Amino acid sequence: MQLILATSNPHKKTEIKAIFAATLPHIEIITLSEILNPFEIEENGISFEQNATIKAKAVYDALLLARGEGEYLVLSEDSGLCVDALGGAPGIYSARFSLIEFGDNSWQERQARLANLSLDARNLARVVYELQARNLSVSRARFVANVCLMGHLGGGLIHRNFQGVCEGEVITTPQGDGGFGYDPIFVPDGYAQTLAQIESKNEISHRRRALEECGEYLRSLV
């Protein structure tokens, strides 16, 4: 059976294969770009679950057109950081928060001065900026990941979503050189370091928790 990832990111493939290797060794895991030309998918949902489902359906529909029905499943994922003091933002806009209108317009001037930084760095700077604008140096927050599994197996249609959460708090002083995205300002519960400083980050990540639930479901099918 093939598990087709709705991504062309090789790092996500490596992470998913590592999580599934011990308990689902018979499943072939491949990325979309290995079998189809990548294409744009409009993620216009209002939740992680909706966006993960939109991606999975778009890829599954494309596979049906290209290959017809078969014993394969599509796995997609949508994730982000939700900060309590920011009303849950950046949320589903985590990957482009620095570009989103939020709060007052004074951020635009700051963004112009950060134009030489990567989008990840600008997104992180936006969260720090919004907290400091509220005279805060810390806030409760969580990373959320939603994984969608869609396809045909054993003659039946499969559509399931699985959610993983990593609770903690965000700080306004980035720490650590590891990880990516918002990792340098996120301190998970039970730790004194940020995700960018924790070597075992992948063992406690929101994505891993969602994928482990997905893996348990897959084992019940095969």
pLDDT at 1 over 80: no
Residue 54 has a pLDDT of 96
Q: Does domain 2-221 have CATH number 3.90.950.10?
A: yes
* 78 carries an active-site annotation: yes
159 burial type by CB count under 10 A (0-12 exposed, 13-18 middle, 19+ buried): middle
Structure token digits, residue 45 = 């949902």
Preceding peptide of 90 cis, ω within 30° = yes
Q: Where do the structural domains in the chain lie, given as residue ranges?
A: 2-221
Which percentage of the chain shows pLDDT scores above 90?
59
Q: In which band, very low, low, confident or very high, does the pLDDT at 56 lie, cut at 50, 70 and 90?
A: very high
Amino acid at 73: L
- For residue 39, the number of C-alpha atoms closer than 13 Å in the C-beta half-sphere is 13
Residue 13 has a pLDDT of 80
Lowest mean pLDDT among 3-12, 59-68, 138-147, 175-184: 3-12
Average pLDDT of span 87-114? 87
Element (H, E) at 60: helix 48-67
Cα gap 67→150, rounded to integer Å: 16
Average pLDDT of span 75-98? 96
Q: Which conformational region is residue 197 in: left (phi greater than 0), alpha (psi within -120 to 50 degrees), or beta?
A: alpha
Residue 200 has a pLDDT of 86
Mean confidence (pLDDT) of the chain: 90
pLDDT at 157 over 80: yes
Average pLDDT of span 21-29? 82
Exposure class string for 105-124: b at 16+ Cβ within 10 A, else e: eebeeebeeeeeeeeeebbb
Residue 25 has a pLDDT of 80
pLDDT tens-digit map of 162-195: 999 999 999 999 999 887 899 999 999 999 999 9
Residues whose CB is less than 8 angstroms from the CB of residue 50 and which lie 6 or more positions away in sequence, other chains included = none
Strands (E), the chain: 2-5, 28-31, 72-83, 138-153, 156-171, 186-188
pLDDT at 222 over 80: no
Q: Is the pTM of this model over 0.85?
A: yes
The residue from 78, 84, 183, 189 that is catalytic is 78
